[in-house]
Chain A
């Protein structure tokens, strides 16, 4: 991302947003920049240490897909203000593609004005994605109005102190508004889920999975400034497996989960701290069924690589190395923004999780 210098970020009155954007583009005309937009991206972020993370993430999205950014920073500490600014962001330093960015800084009672500021600046006929980075359980008064403008809603479960409440609230939102909804932590798991799917792609393998009796999952418990709730992806993965296999939830403690089908399934969650993996990521998954064992282990050195061991009572297959792709900041979000349907798998996972 190349924000074209502070000189191009212009503080404007809300009524002058489009006019000032037009002026910026006229200034850029000699630089042969092309104004492009695939979708509208509304980001709501409380002004805290994570908002910077999201600004950088958004920049990554633009590198892949030019879009109109409407970034709402909500200061929950200061009095009452509303400020708007516009800028143009190029995809990269030497790219001729660039897109609009509208920044809305708000505090206090002026928060109520924000949906009215955003509404006229949605580019029609293009999808509108709302990235809501606050806990949806906090019942923010502007959420509903921004959601109404959107074709897709992305939550960030990292913002929530209580994951179970987050799940229930997400389900309520989906049920009420029928919008395609997802969560960044769910998105971060996509590559790993694809890996699992690729190994359990035959009827035989699926039967083995269905008859699994014990699962051990180890996740990276090393926190960072931006990630503190580190067991979310682990829970998503386990409950995704369970809901896909139609296991019924039985009970849960902090590090054990019990399901039942025509047999009992015992899941153990374990923590490990690893420096060279992102916080909360799956480090190892070990599935034991009656006849086989499946081990998916993140390589200690190469964090994008998983080593897969499959053994039965009679034979051990040769280990497979599987590269799930480089983890780049913003990659998950980049993939999620272009999905326009509600994932049935995600919905099923949420429903099972809500029983905890």
Chain B
């Protein structure tokens, strides 16, 4: 129905009232990301008018205690800087805390009662979003308890209940499939929202606009014009206090299997028939399905790993991975990985995709770089023309740049590469919303486009699980093998050099 109150063509998505329940609310993610996201959404008028949030965790505290902690967290971590006291005084009245163990039925019963009271108080109509900010091992338990205690509705019900889970979605194919089976007992796929926060970044969403709202690029976006693609997810920080987690996961599971696969699929996908969730995700899954699986030989030659040693980052000396808290001094866990893969379809046949990710690299930078083939022919052959590069900076300094060749003014000057540069910050001024803001809002709206689907996750694990098994059976020699503050181990450079290419210096 056309709403006479709305202009034609404007968004018709109506955000329904709901209550957001955060499990594991006393954890780091809530303080750093979730509560600041909810606060900013509310402040920008992006939350439903009827809304409340409840923190669910094991520690003993009152509503006011929790509100005080969240105020501090928002002051510290919100992108909008100093807290708006006027707004906070209203906002905090919709924040509550519920104490319970994850396995106590009583806790879920009392939660249900409280939520029903809040429905009356805030007009939230029984709609629920459950954010599981807990260790993955608790996902099945919490979901089961929610279901058993009537907090999960049938799909198609007038009211909605949705569950957001964070990566990792399993640690290999078997565990991912098991997790899926456990979840599916109680939830329909339409009720599951698997967060990969990269999908919430403005620059990642802009990839689709860039590709499909600009006719000039699509004609070049194929193996006739593109020489290779590099995707880099670099972090300057180490693993901090996450030693326990990292010793179980490693970088391949932490970053490459999920974030990088999302970036890869958005870069490589075919245009979807529409922007509804399934159309977009169908195309992304097709990309992952057509990645050429690694053979035994490929484990030796197509992928390398590394572990950071001591070095210097941001001017300070930093310790090696093996001296981090809760890390074994003989650890064989990788903090760096780089690989070359191919997508076997018409568009990408023969185009190598080089992926690298690492901790304790010189700077934090996530970038997709499309390197085009060199201009053909003998013109300017001796003048040193470079290949054109389209670089999409995901973070920081979000933007897009294009490297082109220009003549330097003068009678005989050589050709000089220059950059055409678009920067989000310079053009749009205002800070873009944080990824979690976008994603939480999309979940409340019921739009799963920016969330990973079960088959995406499964296909990704199908590709990476054999690699992980091979690594487990063949522990690396010579760790650590790169200095903190450098761009990674020598073997990563060699991976490119043998193809006559080089990693970009970011």
Residues of A within 8 A of B (CB): 13-15, 38-39, 82, 84, 112-113, 116-117, 119-120, 122, 124-128, 149, 338-341
Residues of B within 8 A of A14 (CB): 314-316
A126 engages B315 (CB within 8 Å): no
Decide yes or no: A116 and B313 within 8 Å by CB, A124-B505, A125-B389, A340-B384 being known contacts.
Answer: yes
Q: List 19 A-B contacts (CB under 8 A).
A: A15-B315, A38-B418, A112-B312, A113-B312, A119-B362, A119-B363, A120-B362, A124-B391, A125-B403, A126-B418, A128-B505, A149-B505, A338-B413, A338-B416, A339-B414, A340-B384, A340-B415, A340-B416, A341-B414
A340 engages B414 (CB within 8 Å): yes
In the complex, which of the residues A82, A84, A124, A338 contacts B408, with contact meaning CB atoms closer than 8 Å?
A338
Residues of B within 8 A of A126 (CB): 403, 417-419
Q: How far is the CA of A117 from the CA of B362 in the complex (A)?
A: 8
The digit string for B488-506, where 1 denotes a CB below 8 A from any CB of A, is 0000000000000000111
Residues of B within 8 A of A38 (CB): 416, 418
Contacts A15-B315, A120-B236 supplied; 19 other A-B pairs, CB < 8 Å = A13-B314, A14-B316, A38-B416, A116-B311, A116-B312, A116-B313, A117-B315, A120-B362, A124-B391, A124-B506, A125-B419, A126-B403, A126-B418, A126-B419, A127-B417, A149-B505, A338-B408, A338-B416, A340-B414
Residues of B within 8 A of A39 (CB): 416
Q: Which residue of B lies closest to A145 (CB)?
A: B486
Q: How far is the CA of A241 from the CA of B12 in the complex (A)?
A: 78
Q: Which residue of B lies closest to A128 (CB)?
A: B505
Task: Tell me whether B485 is interfacial, beta carbon within 8 Å.
Answer: yes
Residues of B within 8 A of A (CB): 236, 311-317, 362-363, 382, 384, 389, 391, 401, 403, 408, 413-419, 485-487, 504-506
Tally of A-B Cβ pairs under 8 angstroms: 67
Residues of B within 8 A of A84 (CB): 315
B408 engages A116 (CB within 8 Å): no
Q: Which residue of A lies closest to B401 (CB)?
A: A125
A120 engages B363 (CB within 8 Å): yes
Q: How far is the CA of A117 from the CA of B313 in the complex (A)?
A: 8
Q: Which residue of B lies closest to A114 (CB)?
A: B312
Q: Which of A15, A38, A119 has the most CB of B within 10 A?
A: A119
Q: How far is the CA of A14 from the CA of B317 in the complex (A)?
A: 12
Q: Which of A39, A84, A116, A339 has the most CB of B within 10 A?
A: A116
Q: How far is the CA of A117 from the CA of B316 in the complex (A)?
A: 9
Identify the 4 closest CB pairs spanning chains A and B, nearest first.
A14-B315, A15-B314, A120-B363, A116-B312
Q: Which residue of B lies closest to A16 (CB)?
A: B314
Residues of B within 8 A of A117 (CB): 312, 315
Q: Which residue of A lies closest to B408 (CB)?
A: A338
Q: How far is the CA of A113 from the CA of B311 in the complex (A)?
A: 8
In the complex, which of the residues B384, B414, B485 contacts A119, with contact meaning CB atoms closer than 8 Å?
B485
Q: How far is the CB of A244 from chain B (nearest CB, A)?
A: 18
In the complex, which of the residues A15, A125, A149, A339 contacts B417, with contact meaning CB atoms closer than 8 Å?
A125
Q: Which residue of B lies closest to A150 (CB)?
A: B505
In the complex, which of the residues A82, A124, A338, A341 contacts B315, with contact meaning CB atoms closer than 8 Å?
A82
Q: How far is the CB of B242 from chain A (nearest CB, A)?
A: 21
Residues of A within 8 A of B416 (CB): 38-39, 127, 338, 340
Q: How far is the CA of A340 from the CA of B380 in the complex (A)?
A: 13
B418 engages A119 (CB within 8 Å): no
Q: How far is the CA of A190 from the CA of B163 in the complex (A)?
A: 71
Q: How far is the CB of B70 from chain A (nearest CB, A)?
A: 27
Q: Which residue of B lies closest to A340 (CB)?
A: B384
Q: Which residue of A lies closest to B403 (CB)?
A: A125
Q: How far is the CB of B416 from chain A (nearest CB, A)?
A: 6
Q: How far is the CA of A120 from the CA of B391 in the complex (A)?
A: 17
A122 engages B505 (CB within 8 Å): yes
Residues of B within 8 A of A340 (CB): 384, 414-416
Residues of B within 8 A of A339 (CB): 414
In the complex, which of the residues B485, B505, B506 contacts A116, with contact meaning CB atoms closer than 8 Å?
B485
Q: How far is the CB of B235 from chain A (nearest CB, A)?
A: 12
Residues of A within 8 A of B419 (CB): 125-126
A124 engages B504 (CB within 8 Å): yes
Residues of A within 8 A of B314 (CB): 13-15
Q: Which of B236, B317, B506 has the most CB of A within 10 A?
A: B506
Q: Which residue of B lies closest to A194 (CB)?
A: B412
Residues of A within 8 A of B504 (CB): 124-125
Residues of A within 8 A of B382 (CB): 341
Q: How far is the CA of A128 from the CA of B417 in the complex (A)?
A: 11
Q: How far is the CA of A128 from the CA of B362 in the complex (A)?
A: 17
B391 engages A125 (CB within 8 Å): yes
Q: Which of A13, A84, A122, A126 has the most CB of B within 10 A?
A: A126
Q: How far is the CA of A322 from the CA of B311 in the complex (A)?
A: 56
Q: How far is the CB of B364 from chain A (nearest CB, A)?
A: 9
A116 engages B417 (CB within 8 Å): no
A119 engages B487 (CB within 8 Å): yes
Q: Which residue of A lies closest to B413 (CB)?
A: A338
Q: How far is the CB of A340 from chain B (nearest CB, A)?
A: 4
Residues of A within 8 A of B391 (CB): 124-125
Q: How far is the CB of A311 from chain B (nearest CB, A)?
A: 31
Q: How far is the CA of A340 from the CA of B415 in the complex (A)?
A: 9
Residues of A within 8 A of B236 (CB): 120
Q: How far is the CA of A113 from the CA of B417 in the complex (A)?
A: 30
Q: How far is the CB of B500 from chain A (nearest CB, A)?
A: 12
Q: How far is the CA of A126 from the CA of B505 in the complex (A)?
A: 10
Q: Which residue of A lies closest to B483 (CB)?
A: A116
Q: How far is the CA of A38 from the CA of B413 in the complex (A)?
A: 14
Q: How far is the CA of A120 from the CA of B313 in the complex (A)?
A: 9
Q: How far is the CB of B374 from chain A (nearest CB, A)?
A: 14
Residues of A within 8 A of B417 (CB): 125-127
Residues of A within 8 A of B415 (CB): 340
Q: How far is the CB of B421 from chain A (nearest CB, A)?
A: 9
Q: How far is the CA of A122 from the CA of B486 in the complex (A)?
A: 13
Q: Which residue of A lies closest to B367 (CB)?
A: A124
In the complex, which of the residues B362, B384, B401, B408 contacts A341, with contact meaning CB atoms closer than 8 Å?
B384
A113 engages B315 (CB within 8 Å): yes
Q: How far is the CA of A84 from the CA of B314 in the complex (A)?
A: 11
Q: How far is the CB of B494 from chain A (nearest CB, A)?
A: 14
Residues of B within 8 A of A116 (CB): 311-313, 315, 362, 485-486
Residues of A within 8 A of B487 (CB): 119
Q: How far is the CA of A124 from the CA of B413 in the complex (A)?
A: 22
Residues of A within 8 A of B403 (CB): 125-126
Residues of A within 8 A of B506 (CB): 124
Q: Which residue of A lies closest to B504 (CB)?
A: A124
B315 engages A13 (CB within 8 Å): yes
Q: How far is the CA of A210 from the CA of B401 in the complex (A)?
A: 51
Q: How far is the CB of A191 from chain B (nearest CB, A)?
A: 13
Q: Which residue of A lies closest to B312 (CB)?
A: A116
Q: How far is the CA of A340 from the CA of B406 in the complex (A)?
A: 13
Residues of A within 8 A of B408 (CB): 338
A338 engages B418 (CB within 8 Å): no
Q: How far is the CB of B372 from chain A (nearest CB, A)?
A: 13
Residues of B within 8 A of A127 (CB): 416-417
Q: How far is the CB of B350 from chain A (nearest CB, A)?
A: 24
Q: Which residue of A lies closest to B393 (CB)?
A: A124
Q: How far is the CA of A244 from the CA of B221 in the complex (A)?
A: 47
Residues of B within 8 A of A122 (CB): 505
B414 engages A338 (CB within 8 Å): yes
Q: How far is the CB of B389 from chain A (nearest CB, A)?
A: 6
Q: How far is the CB of B467 from chain A (nearest CB, A)?
A: 29
Residues of B within 8 A of A128 (CB): 505
